[in-house]
């Protein structure tokens, strides 16, 4: 019962921060689940992925209705990220059989630490990119740009990372898109990223479900708090300066990543 209430409150807080800053909750959720002892690393990742997939669906539906989704961009990201997620889950399964759960948990913690540091740096890079291109002039998404190898490669790398750590489906993708397409309207990049995130996180979550690394009761408790939290955070997003919050979140993620490594 204590864990159920605690998980509900945790979901509320992280859901609120996600709605407020637009940042993925996975970067905050997985390390907290590990630290509290509510789930071993592999189960923390699988549980977070299922929770993340459920919360992203709501955002993706809103962005699609508002016509903020470039389906062609989503498809090109998915051609790399979905195979990446499947490869990541397969490798996890093989490692668990050959090397054991303890080795896999140890590996996940170190990879999680490295990914959190990367995410923290990507938040800083995103801020720099938005200040560098305040009027969003520059390259737009077009057939030629989508035909390049860069987008599927970025998708593949992030797909593998998401399968191992549950982190990166939002923050790493959106930073890459901002750097590749500085002229594209920000809402279109965010909408495409969120829509793509549902597919990527959904595939990775299904893989972890198949491996048996999902705590259903914990997911339910987290969702119980996070759905109203996301709603409340989204309502207040325009009233609290997110630019003041982002550097604080980046610093916390960086410190967390260093401690995990």
**Cα–Cα distance for residue pair 191/174, rounded to 1 Å:** 10
Distance, in Å, from the CA atom of 42 to the CA atom of 109, rounded to the nearest integer, reads 9
Please state, in angstroms and rounded to a whole number, the distance separating the CA atoms of residues 256 and 46: 20
Q: What is the pLDDT of residue 144?
A: 56
pLDDT, position 91: 94
3-26 as b/e: b if 16+ CB within 10 A: beeebbebbbbbbbbbbbbbbbbb
CB count in 10 Å sphere of residue 146: 16
pLDDT for 1 beyond 70: no
Give the C-alpha separation, 143 to 73, whole Å: 10
Summarised one tens digit per residue, pLDDT across range 117-155 is 988 888 788 777 667 665 555 566 665 556 678 889 999
Average pLDDT over residues 28-37: 88
Q: CA 150, 201, 87, 102 torsion: positive or negative? A: positive
pTM exceeds 0.75, yes or no:
yes
Write out pLDDT tens, residues 80-110: 999 999 999 999 999 988 988 889 889 999 9
Residue, of 19 and 138, whose pLDDT is higher: 19
The reported pLDDT for the residue numbered 126 is: 74
Average pLDDT of the chain is 83
Please report, for the chain, the start and end positions of each structural domain, with discontinuous segments joined by +: 2-260
């Amino acid at each position: 019962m204590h864990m159920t209430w605690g998980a509900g409150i945790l979901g509320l807080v992280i859901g609120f921060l996600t709605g407020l800053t637009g940042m993925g909750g996975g970067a905050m959720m997985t390390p907290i689940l590990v630290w509290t002892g509510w789930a071993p690393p592999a189960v923390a990742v699988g549980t977070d992925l299922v929770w993340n997939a459920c919360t992203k669906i709501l955002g993706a539906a809103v962005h699609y209705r508002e016509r903020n989704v470039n389906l062609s961009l989503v498809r090109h990201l998915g051609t790399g990220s979905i195979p990446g997620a499947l490869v990541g889950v397969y490798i996890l399964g093989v490692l668990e059989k050959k090397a054991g759960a303890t080795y896999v948990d140890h590996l996940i913690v170190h990879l999680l630490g490295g990914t959190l540091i990367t995410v923290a740096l990507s938040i800083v890079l995103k801020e720099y990119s938005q200040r560098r291109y305040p009027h969003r002039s520059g390259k737009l998404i077009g057939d030629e740009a989508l035909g390049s190898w860069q987008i599927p490669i970025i998708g593949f790398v992030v797909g593998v990372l998401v399968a191992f750590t549950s982190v990166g489906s939002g923050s790493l993708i959106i930073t890459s898109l901002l750097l590749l397409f500085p002229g594209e309207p920000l809402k279109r990049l965010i909408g495409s990223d969120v829509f793509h995130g549902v597919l990527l996180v959904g595939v990775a979550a299904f893989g972890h479900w198949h491996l048996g690394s999902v705590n259903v009761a914990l997911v339910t408790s987290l969702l119980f708090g996070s759905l109203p939290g996301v709603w409340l955070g989204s309502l207040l997003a325009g009233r609290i300066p997110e630019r003041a919050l982002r550097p604080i979140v980046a610093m916390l993620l960086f410190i967390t990543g260093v401690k995990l490594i």
